[in-house]
Amino acid sequence: MPDRDVRPSVALRRRARRRRIIGFGAAGAVALVAAGGGVALAVGGSDDGRYRTAAADLSSVEQVIDAVGTIASATRRDVAFSVDGTVATVNVSVGQAVAAGDVLATLDTEALQDAVEKAQADLADAQQQLSDDLDSQTASTSTSSTASSSATSASSSSTPSASASASPAVSSAAPTTGSEDTRGDSADPAVEKALADVQRAQQALLDQYQVTADALASSGESVTASQASCAAFLAVVGDDVEPADAEPTDDLTESTDPATDEADPTVEPDDTAEPDDTAEPDVSAVEQALADCQAALTGALDAQTATDAEQQALMTLATALDEAVQALQKAVAASSTSAPSTSTPSTSTPSTTTPSTSTPSTSTPSTSTPSTSTATTVASAATIVADQAAIDLAQANVTLAQSRLPFATLTSPIAGTVAAVALAPGDSVTASSTTATITILGPDGYTVTTSVPLTKIDIVTVGQSAQVTTPSTDATLTATVSSIGVLDTSTTADPAYTVELAVDPTDETLYDGASAQVRITVAGADQVLTVPTSAVHVDGSTATVQVLQGGTPTEVTVTRGAVGTERTEITDGLSAGDEVVLADLDEPIETSTSTTTGLSGLGDDATQGGPPEGFVMQGGEGGPPAGFAPPGNG
């Protein structure tokens, strides 16, 4: 029985507490309406109390886009050495102000100077190699003469009895058969002529090599120019061209020179293109671009033809040089056959005071020496060309090595402040490193980069104002939209585009890479016709409102301007004073737990604070627990 006595008092306390909660809720609703200002007070109703309405009136409205961005310096340069080397000095530190051209760091120039000296030595070696090979073609006379003189000395030494008179003749002939020349005082005219022919052929070959090299360079420049011209043509015709299977169309080739039909067909329009394409470019522009492309291709083909001709001429001169060298060798051989008869005046020195010549016994082993003297190799014309090419390459390497020396000094490209130094003396750095750098921030202010989704990017335009906040300062910064990207930068299925804003000059301290809250004002006006945003119904690109006329709502199509969170600007379709419907109080609103009528939050929610008036709770299944007695029943 004690339990029965307690339960009614508990129920009474719960009911009393619920009444207090309802009372507090009503007071809060009144306070909220009072705080709502003009928007809440503008809400009215129809005469029969069925519709909640609001009047279209003049007010201010602002449409904004909120986003998160990153702050960066407007002018930032990460500078690095352009050549490899070892850092010798670092002349700046973080926070130091620098002017454009100030020295930031230097490299040890010893290695760079060594590279220059090595390149110069390689050039000298290449030049010497060419000189040696040219000499080998004209020095074949000495090789042949040396062989013949060695043969005669060997034969003379094989006859000891004649050694007394023959040895002076051989020694006197030796200087004339050395590496200088075999012509001596009695040069063979045939050898002289053959030698002059070789020298002329050598010079002609080297001259033609230079002409061919120039033609090849010119051909390369023509090909590059034709590629640029034909790329411009393809840009004009767009997707109407299939480069792989291109054929000239009748209407385009009629205005062009038929002589250019030899031009590369890969840049001419496809005859399968639809002539009635609505996106067809201007015919005159296409014709001009095609003419330019064909002219460039013709020039490239002419340059290639000229290069081929020069290369053929070079090959012809190479063959002529080889033939001249062979003719010289034959002339020398023919001249050497008569040399013994003229170079052995056996009785010119009848000196018999050396009868005891021991030279015969020592002269016999000398028969092995001719084999070494005849090993001289005569360079071919192809070798001469290769030597000249090696010289050109070595000269290019010298120029390159010398050009690296000025890059041993790293200078600031702009005036500003040193923000980071990522190298130190003794560090080995690579050319154009992305890590061993010195960062300079310019004085041109800061930018904020953010991302705007596809659903909103169409209302963002360059020049719109924005507000920026960042953790480094409590001040609200102002900014202006400076650029809008056209490429999707989103990593999800929802496209988004980059928007960059220029922060207005400020004395606040900002940091590169810091996050920022961005609010872009995309539309807004003062004293324009507006209605509550909740009264506007949007279906695709069509916006409508319901206007209450004579107690009956009528749907009216409107044109929107700025769309704020509370008010929407109406630029067409309404007049000041028109009553727009916010809600139909008689229309049920379905929820997941109950069915209510009226506009939520406006005080007519029938379920707030308990069951509706007149509700009687029935017993049975789903009713209150056994023994429960409603308050007031004793």
pLDDT in tens, 463-521: 999 999 999 999 999 999 999 998 999 999 999 999 999 999 998 988 889 999 999 99
Tokens of 88: 């010798």
Residue 278 has pLDDT above 90, yes or no: no
Pick the residue with more confidence: 21 or 573? 573
Q: For 87, how many CA atoms within 13 A lie in the half-sphere containing its CB?
A: 22
Residue 525's φ and ψ, nearest 5 degrees, are -160, 160
Within 8 A by CB and 6+ apart from 56, the residues are 529, 530, 531, 570, 574, 575, 576, 577, 578, 579, 580
Mean per-residue pLDDT of the chain: 75
Cβ(579)–Cβ(55) below 8 Å: yes
How confident is the model over 153-180, as a mean pLDDT? Answer: 37
pLDDT score at 540: 83
Q: How far separated are the first and last CA of the chain, in Å rounded? A: 15
pTM of the model: 0.48
pLDDT score at 376: 65
pLDDT score at 89: 96
pLDDT score at 30: 34
Confidence band, pLDDT 50/70/90 cuts, at residue 31: very low
Q: Which residue has the tokens 């980071």?
A: 420
DSSP class of residue 281 equals P
Tens digit of each residue's pLDDT (9 = 90 or more) over 106-119: 999 998 899 999 99
How confident is the model over 26-42, as a mean pLDDT? Answer: 38
Residue 262 has pLDDT above 80, yes or no: no
Supply the DSSP string of 392-421, one letter for each residue: HHHHHHHHHHHHHGGGGEEE-SSSEEEEEE
Residue 145 has pLDDT above 70, yes or no: no
pLDDT score at 139: 79
Tens digit of each residue's pLDDT (9 = 90 or more) over 286-335: 888 888 899 989 999 999 999 999 999 999 999 999 999 999 988 888 88
Cβ(397)–Cβ(104) below 8 Å: no
Residue 164 has pLDDT above 50, yes or no: no
pLDDT score at 106: 95
Residue 216 has pLDDT above 90, yes or no: yes
Residue among 522, 591, 599 at smallest CA distance from 561: 522
Q: For 91, how many CA atoms within 13 A lie in the half-sphere containing its CB?
A: 13
How confident is the model over 340-350, as a mean pLDDT? Answer: 45
Worst-scoring range by mean pLDDT, 165-174, 259-268, 312-321? 165-174
Tens digit of each residue's pLDDT (9 = 90 or more) over 87-140: 999 999 999 999 999 999 999 999 889 999 999 999 999 999 999 999 998 875
C-alpha dihedral (290, 294, 299, 304), degrees to nearest 10: 130
Residue 70 has pLDDT above 80, yes or no: yes
Tens digit of each residue's pLDDT (9 = 90 or more) over 415-431: 999 999 999 999 999 99
Residue 340 has pLDDT above 60, yes or no: no
Cβ(66)–Cβ(450) below 8 Å: no
Confidence band, pLDDT 50/70/90 cuts, at residue 232: confident
Residue 365 has pLDDT above 50, yes or no: no
How confident is the model over 364-379, as a mean pLDDT? Answer: 54
Angstrom distance (rounded) from CA 547 to CA 272: 57
DSSP bridge partners of 549: 552
Angstrom distance (rounded) from CA 269 to CA 287: 11
Q: Which residue has the tokens 């890590």?
A: 435
Tokens of 239: 């997707």
Ordered structural domains, the chain, with CATH: 1-35+596-634 (no CATH), 67-73+445-584 (2.40.30.170), 107-154+187-339+377-409 (no CATH)
How confident is the model over 168-179, as a mean pLDDT? Answer: 36
Tokens of 161: 């009895």
How confident is the model over 40-59, as a mean pLDDT? Answer: 73
Angstrom distance (rounded) from CA 271 to CA 250: 8
pLDDT score at 590: 61
Cβ(418)–Cβ(77) below 8 Å: no
Supply the DSSP string of 334-390, one letter for each residue: HHHTTHHHHS--TTS----S--S--HHHHHGGGGGHHHHHTTPPPPPHHHHHHHHHH
Give the Cβ contact number of residue 295 at 10 Å.
17
How confident is the model over 204-220, as a mean pLDDT? Answer: 93
pLDDT score at 449: 95
Radius of gyration in angstroms for the set of CA atoms belonging to the chain, rounded to a whole number? 51
Supply the DSSP string of 521-579, one letter for each residue: EEEEEEEEEEEEGGG-EEETTEEEEEEEETTEEEEEEEEEEEE-SSEEEEEES--TTPE
pLDDT score at 254: 43
Pick the residue with more confidence: 232 or 27? 232
